[in-house]
Structure 1
Amino acid sequence: MTDTPSNPDRRPHMVMVVGNQVVGDSRVEKSAVTAEQAGYRVTVLGTARRTVFPIGEYHGIPIYRTPAVFRRQSALNQWKSLRPSVSPTWGRLADADGTPTFGPGEPLPAPGAGAGRSWRDRLAENVELARDRVVAKTPGGWRTVWPHIADYEELFLPPLLHLAPDVIHTHDRHPLAAVHSYVQLMRSRGRTIPWLYDAHEWVPGQEIVGGDQARIGWVAAEAELIRHADAVISVTDELAGRMKSRHRLPERPTVVHNAPLAAKTPLEPEQRLPLRQECGLDEDTPLLVYIGRLADVRGIFTVIDALAQLPGVHAAFVGNQDDAYRQRMRDHAAQIGVDDRLHIADYVPSSSVTWYIQGATCGVSPLMPTPAHELAIPTKLREYLQSGLPLVVSDLTEQAAFTRDGGLGTVFAPGQADSLAGAVQELLDRLPDFRAAVRDPEVQAQHTWEGSEQVLTELWHRLCPVPDAAAGPAGVEPAASETTGPVLAVVAEAPEDQPLVHAWRDQAGPVEPVPGVPVDGGGRGPALKDALDRWIRVDRAADGVLYTGAVNASGSLDGGFSSEVRSLLERGKPVAVWTAEAPLADPRLLAEAYEGHPFSMLPREAAERYRRQVRRSAQPLLDLQAGGNLQLLTSRQADARLLGALWCPVPVPTPTTDRYGSSGWAPEGAQDRPVQVLVVPTLRTPQEEQALDRMAERAEAEGLEILRPRHRKFRPAMAATADLVIDALHLGESSDAAAWAWRSGRIVVGQSTSAPAAPEEAAAPAAPVVQAGDHDLTDRVLELAESLRAGEAGELLRASHDYGTLVHDGRLSVRVIRSALGL
């Protein structure tokens, strides 16, 4: 029994570990939902691949896919490549009469296996395999025989340490070593963590990638580690009996059939249509369906070959996204002239499988013979039954008996296309009878997940009891809020300090502030558990997500900034990136477009160096922009030159103090203090810098206070307290600092610009900039300072104040964001 869980919500934390991407693994997905309903807080831990994002969720349950780095296996492969080439063989040490022996349940050698190899090579290999068997049976020896197991151990152990589970559900063989090591480590620290092993298949009979060494290592690892589990689960009665006998277990493994849920869960039309509709077929066209991994050993090509003998019959394969394998299937179908009747589709969520395929004619399980397959009753058989589909299965022990005994379909010789074609034709001829058999209410009731849930729940509660107050359905729900309207998640370094957060909260709806981590590595990422909780809340609670620059909500856990944004987009979440003043437009384009631009005056070498620096810092944002992601820019120039970009004004909070009264707009106490002039640190030409030096020298002599902060120490909000703000004179646009100046009724000196191009809801007038150039900057600053002292600048001050209120009080920014995100 486990220690009392320490998490605040009192629910014990269950981590389910599996050596795949989780997507499409219906047993893992259904088990996770059942565990949540049984009162556990569940996290699913899988492995990452290029086809999925590291962080995901299933019905509100967080999924973390740890990056799969198999260093030991790679080293072993490199070492093998340096050895003399030896063809694989199924042979074993010969009997006394010279006849090769084969291990129990192993496939016979392929014809010609070992041909052309000397007896010395064969003897050396057999001796090596015999040695591996001996080493593998020693404690931990399987790590030496097959280092790939240790790779998985290294893969899963760190996330387990971060997640700190109270109980562990281990799916299949891959996480065994890591879970056992974690439990032993916790025991040495005084904590007892119960765990169970859910054996999905018969490991001694599995076709394991890696050949003899892999099989020897995995079989030995399971045999050693299974005895340390607090409970064992199997998928069939036959497998439970074999496991108890082989491993001398103290009790028979609990049988949990991997049946589908009785309820059919439709998907929205924009997500997926029913299979028959996706294939574009009418109701009378025979359609075979296969669900599962696309692999030769699953008999995929037997089905394709059979189509040549079944005119008018179509076949649909719902499987993993293996582009190379899918192309092999299409090429083979084209060679035999059936490519127009072959359909390949991606997985759908496990809860929607029966809804998705119910329009097919029958379900096919064409497994090829292996010891594991002989003992298997694949999940797909019960999914077919719950969909009301008769079965066509290859003649392997368990699935053939399952089909024949219930009169649920037809059986064919494995690997033989003509036999499969005959079985399909027989089924079509007697289709009403077979449909009646599979749709019988008693048959349907025998093969549902609901019957397995009670067995699982009782087992979990025995290992790790759940407090009464924690029982019942759980999951991440949107935070309650009295404010109505769309919920916007804002990802920023310090979200509560963002004026945009307060503007949205005041004018649009609730905000989900999400602390972000800069992509340049400045700052540590959140802990794994916190990152998952935060990510699921964004995914479940927010109607749209706004990133304020290149910041990650989950650090590097979801693959980085671009990966994190694409992950949300692929799940249908509207996302925009607020780039503020980030330089995105190519400096060469700006130099060509604006006469006298600072970029045009840089030496060629310096200009190229600056261009590379700009591109490197902007690359994450440019990558997203190239992929069609929406960019919200405060830069008018970049907006005009980047596709998929919109101008959006900087929201500035209401000034806390207004030094200019409503009567005459004169500065309070202006005669008692010097006029303050702020020089915004921005890109300037050499001539402009010289003009600023002359202005500063003259102005200080006239009693003005000149502030010239360095770029790293400057904040745009500093412009809200200066009397005059000297913005860029040659960039063709105003900076974010000018927005703060206008919002507080300050005067901005710079370069006049036209009104920004914007959608109708973001229309804005031209900004009130007092124009100045290099030649007259000093005179203009002194004139404005004198006007302020004399109280004669009221019109300029009022224009700045009105423009700042109209454009930069947040209302316009919120309208642009709502329109851009479709909220």
Structure 2
Amino acid sequence: MASNSTTGSRGRVVMLVDNGVHGDSRVQKAARSAADAGWEVFLLGIRNARSDTDTWQIGGAEVRLLRVPKPLHRLPRDSSRSLRRPLAYPPGTKAAYRIQEIKAWQAELYERRIRAQVLGGRLPAVVGRTAQLPSRAAAVVLARWVKFRAGETHRLRERQVDPDSLLTKLPIRSWQALLGNRSWRRLDPGLWDFELAFRTAIDELEPDIIHANDFRMLGVGARAMLRARAAGRDTKLVWDAHEFVGGITGRADNPRWLPAQIAYTAEYAAYPDAVVTVSDTLAELLQETHALPERPAVVLNAPMAPPADADGDTPDLRALCGVDERTPVLVYAGAVNPSRGVQLMVEALPELPEVHVAFVTMNPNGDNRFSETLLERAVELGVGDRVHLLPYVKHWQVVPFLSAADAGVIPIHHKPNHELALITKFLEYSHARLPIVVSDVKTMAQTARDTGQGEVFRAEDLTDYVRAVRSVLADPARYRAAYDKPGLLEGWTWEAQARVLDQVYSGLLGIPAAAAGGAVPATRVPGDQRELAGTTR
């Protein structure tokens, strides 16, 4: 078993995240900066198909990826019949198997018929065809029966994913009424899969602080904190709320999913000793929604300066696009999907001659179905040579990489969580000193107007988007000048945010916060009599 803290450490922090870490710049920066400030940091994530290794270092923090079997993620409809359509095939591949089986039988009957016709035989062809009549009739009847049952299966699936269907709503409402916030156990028992995968790894590390990123890890962290306290350790829990759960767009294939996540979050929101989040707007909303005793601390997902152990040169965005310095380039950095509005950037290109668009996204090589759709649409519009899919770079390279563009675009649609924060790319574009073209989502649009760093357009409005792009390309110096305002960019650095996070950790353990720049004051961890070094790790 590990000890609570090691010599030279201010305390042990175990961070939890429900992804593979590689694409999550916030958790990477938090782990590195906490280790730099003298904390002993372990970051536990999830191993997936893309994970090359289970363990590695981020600065002084150790990353460990865990395998998470997900048998409980199966929906009830995936393992049992439904009384809605009793003649539908059972869940699984039965319908597809029966359809293919009937087709194979029909093909065999046809083969017998033509073989007799071509090769001949003792009996006249008409006799052979007559002998086949019962089998052919049976095949026709069975084909119609299978087609009907397959149709019932399709109609059943449509009703099961219809959130307005009475038989879909009734069990959800019944479990909510019966169990309240505990209803997630019936609506999405798959949340237990995370608990069962993480619990042993957390307990063996015996953390002083558990830092639970986002809502899935909140319950995992809360239960680990309770186990630690039952064992006599005063472990603290920090919840890092990345988004508002009630504002997430639910899964279209599972109407139970969003009510389950809301109930799960509501049950465990009272457990953290401290809450941090990504914006002032979300901090207020979380405090109001969950009746938090204190307003959450705000830790923006701001860019960080290159770490001391940074390696490799920053790639050249323009070289990757194959364009020169005179060619106008609009950049979008982040995931691409319909709600991000990125298709608007492609649709506008016929109206913006000479302009190129670079999408810096996780899957630039056709791995991503929506990326393929963007490229296909670009080809249809005759602008395929002006759309470029580029891979992610290391998080400390993002700002210099993006700075080669002429403007940064954030065309996201109006969704509850899109209204609440200055998202990562907004801050990255800012540090790259790019003029920003942003849709009229509340927080980012207001900030862009107040600072003068960009143009705002009506979300999903192609004409207004083209107007905004033309404005920033016509006079980029006007928008870049906004970044000269004293203190603007300094407050949007990860270094400033890391100090906030360190103050939260230090306050929970009753020890002095690290000095500016990461220097660690000499102190003692409560309950540990060893003198701790006053230097960074």
Into which bin does the TM-score normalised by the smaller protein fall? 0.7 to 0.9
Q: State whether structure 2 residue 277 is matched by structure 1 residue 234.
A: yes
Contact 1:385 1:439 in 2 (8 A): no
Change (3 A) 1:444 1:121: closer
1:276 is aligned to 2:321: no
Aligned pairs for 1:272-421 (under 5 A) are 272-321=314-363, 322-421=367-466
Three-state SS of the structure 1 residue aligned to 2:488 is helix
The one-letter code sitting in structure 2 at the alignment partner of 1:316 is A
2-side partners of 1:337 and 1:61: how far apart? 48
Deviation at 1:232, TM superposition (A): 0.5
1:676-715, aligned counterparts within 5 Å?
none
Residue in 1 that maps onto 2:30: 31
What is the distance in 1 between the residues matched to 2:490 and 2:255? 42
Equivalent residues of 2:9, 2:38 under 8 A apart: no
* Aligned equivalent of 1:437: 482
- Give the deviation of 1:411 after TM superposition: 1.2
- The answer as to 2:236 corresponding to 1:194 is yes
Report the RMSD for the aligned CA atoms in angstroms. 2.9
**Distance of 2:482 and 2:163 partners within structure 1:** 58
Separation of aligned partners in 2, 1:368 and 1:266: 38
Does the CA contact (< 8 Å) of 1:150 and 1:177 recur in 2?
Answer: no
Q: Is the 8 A contact 1:39 1:473 kept in 2?
A: yes
Partner of 1:61: 61
Deviation at residue 262 of structure 1 after TM alignment: 5.0
**Cα displacement (A) at 1:208:** 3.8
Shift of 1:151: 1.9
CA-to-aligned-CA distance 1:397-421 (integer Å, 9 cap, x gap): 1111111111110112222333322
1:476-487 aligned within 5 A: none
Cα distance in 2 for partners of 1:308, 1:82 equals 50
Equivalent-residue separation in structure 2 for 1:121 and 1:236 (angstroms): 33
In 1, Cα distance between equivalents of 2:472 and 2:183: 50
**Aligned residue number for residue 472 of structure 2:** 427
CA distance 1:116–1:161, shift in 2 (3 Å): closer
CA contact (8 A) 2:4 2:205 kept: no
Distance in structure 2 (CA, Å) of the matches to 1:266 and 1:444: 24
What is residue 548 of structure 1 aligned with on the other side? none
8 Å CA contact 1:136–1:144 kept in 2: the answer is: no
Q: Secondary structure at the match of 2:270?
A: helix
Q: 2:300 aligns with which of 229, 241, 257?
A: 257
> Is 1:174 equivalent to 2:216 in the alignment?
yes
Cα distance in 2 for partners of 1:389, 1:83 equals 58
| Contact 1:37–1:471 (8 Å) recurs in 2 | no
Task: State the 1:9 CA deviation.
Answer: 4.7
On the 8 A contact 1:363/1:384 being kept in 2, the answer is yes
Alignment map for 1:663-678 (pairs within 5 Å): none
Q: CA deviation at 1:445?
A: 2.0
Question: For 1:530-679, what aligned pairs fall within 5 Å after superposition?
Answer: none
Q: List gaps (5 residues or longer) in structure 1.
A: 87-113, 475-823
Q: Distance in 1 between matches of 2:471 and 2:17?
A: 39
Deviations 1:559-612 (A, max 9, x none): xxxxxxxxxxxxxxxxxxxxxxxxxxxxxxxxxxxxxxxxxxxxxxxxxxxxxx
Matched to 2:64, the amino acid is Y
Aligned partners of 1:429 and 1:208: how far apart in 2? 40
Q: For the residues of structure 2 that align with 1:137 and 1:239, how far apart are their CA atoms?
A: 24
- Unaligned runs of 5+ residues in structure 2 are 87-156, 512-522, 525-530
Tell me how far 1:248 sits from its aligned partner.
0.9
Residue aligning to 1:106 = none
Distance 1:120 1:388 in 2: 44
- CA deviations on 1:454-513 (whole Å, 9 max, x unpaired) are 211111011234636344322xxxxxxxxxxxxxxxxxxxxxxxxxxxxxxxxxxxxxxx
Equivalents in 1 of 2:165, 2:400: separation in Å?
Answer: 53
Structure 2 Cα separation of the partners of residues 230 and 378 of structure 1: 25
Out of 98, 123, 129, the position equivalent to 2:172 is 129
CA contact (8 A) 1:21 1:49 kept: yes
**How far apart in 1 are the matches of 2:171 and 2:276?**
34
> Residue 128 of structure 1: SS of its match in structure 2?
helix
Partner deviation per Cα, 1:346-372 (whole Å, 9 max, x = no partner): 222212211111111111111111111
Q: 1:308 to 1:142 in 2, by over 3 A?
A: same
For residue 213 of structure 1, report the CA deviation from its aligned partner.
1.4
* Counterpart-to-counterpart distance in 2, 1:406 and 1:440: 9
Structure with greater Cα Rg: 1
CA distance in 1, matches of 2:311, 2:163: 63
The one-letter code sitting in structure 1 at the alignment partner of 2:440 is D
Contact (CA 8 Å) 2:327, 2:355: kept in 1 or not?
yes
The size of the alignment, in residue pairs, is: 442
In the alignment, the residues of structure 2 paired with residue 85 and residue 423 of structure 1 have an alpha-carbon distance, to the nearest angstrom, of 52
Percent identity (aligned): 32
SS of 2:405's equivalent in the other structure is coil
Deviations along 1:661-715, one digit per CA (max 9) or x if unpaired, are xxxxxxxxxxxxxxxxxxxxxxxxxxxxxxxxxxxxxxxxxxxxxxxxxxxxxxx
* Counterpart Cα distance in 1 of 2:250 and 2:484: 36
Report the CA distance between 1:376 and its aligned residue: 2.5
| Aligned counterpart, 1:520 | none
2:262 alignment partner in structure 1: 219
Secondary structure at the counterpart of residue 422 of structure 1: helix
- Cα deviation per residue 1:112-136 (whole Å; 9 max; x = unaligned)? xx9999x998332332332243246
The residue aligned with 2:536 is 473
1:18 maps to 2:63: no
In 2, the alpha carbon distance for the partners of 1:363 and 1:345 equals 15
Cα deviation code 1:39-96 (max 9, x no counterpart):
111111111221222323322422122123221112546137867589xxxxxxxxxx
Give distance in 2, aligned partners of 1:306 and 1:57: 43
